[in-house]
């Protein structure tokens, strides 16, 4: 058995190509920031320049064991410097929900039931009942 066949056989699930650079991993990919940066072929200096984060801070960010007190903006700038886009996802059981800011949501038509019971209709009812 070839080395690549052994690697493919050892992964759980179908392997997927990550970043188009030959890095293969099972679905549900979990990578460290450093592994992600290495896979893009960028250096810490490259990331620091593109993200406007000090190189020493890039190093500290990559060395973290968790991101509990890390700012979302910092992670977003780091990922964007690698050429990616950052997405915040909440997981509820097997459901994964992308969390977006209020300005990133597509406009939705207003609910007609809410329009009918809105304040303007209540005011019309009150003024009509008094007349």
For 44-89, how does the pLDDT look when each residue is reduced to its tens digit (9 = 90+)? Answer: 999 999 999 999 999 999 999 999 999 999 999 999 999 999 999 9
pTM of the model: 0.60
Domain covering 32-130 in this structure, CATH number:
1.10.260.40
Residue 1 pLDDT exceeds 70: no
Share of the chain above pLDDT 70, in %: 57
How many of the other CB atoms lie within 10 Å of CB of 86?
13
Count CB-CB contacts under 10 A for residue 31: 14
109 vs 57, higher pLDDT: 57
What integer pLDDT is reported at residue 25 of this predicted model? 52
Residue 38 has phi, psi (to 5 degrees) of -60, -40
Listed by start position, the domains of the chain span 1-30, 32-130
CA angle at residue 43 from 31 to 72, to 5 degrees?
Answer: 55
The yes-or-no verdict on residue 6 having pLDDT over 50 is no
- Helix, strand or coil for residue 89? strand
């Amino acid at each position: 058995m070839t080395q690549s066949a052994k690697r493919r056989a050892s992964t759980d699930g179908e392997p997927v190509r990550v970043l188009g650079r030959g890095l293969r991993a099972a679905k549900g990919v979990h990578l460290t920031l450093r592994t992600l940066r290495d896979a893009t072929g960028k250096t810490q200096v490259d990331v620091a320049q593109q993200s406007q984060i000090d190189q020493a801070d890039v190093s500290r960010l990559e060395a973290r064991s968790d991101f509990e007190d890390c700012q979302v903006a910092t992670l977003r700038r780091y990922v964007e410097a690698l050429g990616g886009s950052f997405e915040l996802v909440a997981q509820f059981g097997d459901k994964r929900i992308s969390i977006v800011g209020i300005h990133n949501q597509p406009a939705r038509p207003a609910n007609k039931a809410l329009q009918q019971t809105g304040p303007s209709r209540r005011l019309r009812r009150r003024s009509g009942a008094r007349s």
